[in-house]
Amino acid sequence: MRPSHPFRKALGVLAALPLILLLTTAPPASASPPPTWTLYDGSAQYVCQTPGNNPGSFGYYLAPVLGEWTTTISLGMTDLPPGSTSQGSRIPPGSNHPHEDGGVTVNGWIGYNVTTAPLGLYHPRISATDGVTSQSYLVTLEIKQRC
């Protein structure tokens, strides 16, 4: 005796259910693993600089990276005032974890020069990348005649 039409349909759906579940629960093949490092949030950093070709026109921002990484992390700065330059740095593969007291070892920094920058308040962007993941934050830079 042959099963009735609705019963055959139900058997077909039940037979396909494991395949449907497998296809709907499998992670996408192109998903990247989450980063294993973090650019420590230094957005509270404020610097006052004086323009001109003098020691007061040079400075730096701290840019520590925490976690573990297997490729070099490049640090940089964008959105500087006109007439300013920056010098990024590179952090070789390694690791950096907070200390028991909550302190952090500074393993990255970015230097800059505001030789001909106009007076004003600016918000340069500090960034870090390992070529796959990029992270950034804004800092405050004030250019004044006297600080």
Write the pLDDT tens digit of every residue in 75-114: 999 999 998 999 999 999 999 999 999 999 999 999 999 8
Q: What is the 3-state secondary structure (H, E, C) of the chain?
A: CCCCHHHHHHHHHHHHHHHHHHHHHCCCCCCCCCCCEEECCCCCCEEEECCCCCHHHEEEEECCEEEEECCCEEEEEECCCCCCEEECEEECCEEECCCCCCCCCCCCEEEEECCCCCCEEECCEEEEECCCCEEEEECEEEECCCC
Tens of pLDDT, residue by residue over 46-77, are: 999 988 777 668 899 999 999 999 999 999 99
pTM to 2 decimal places:
0.73
**CATH architecture observed for domain 37-143:** Sandwich (2.60)
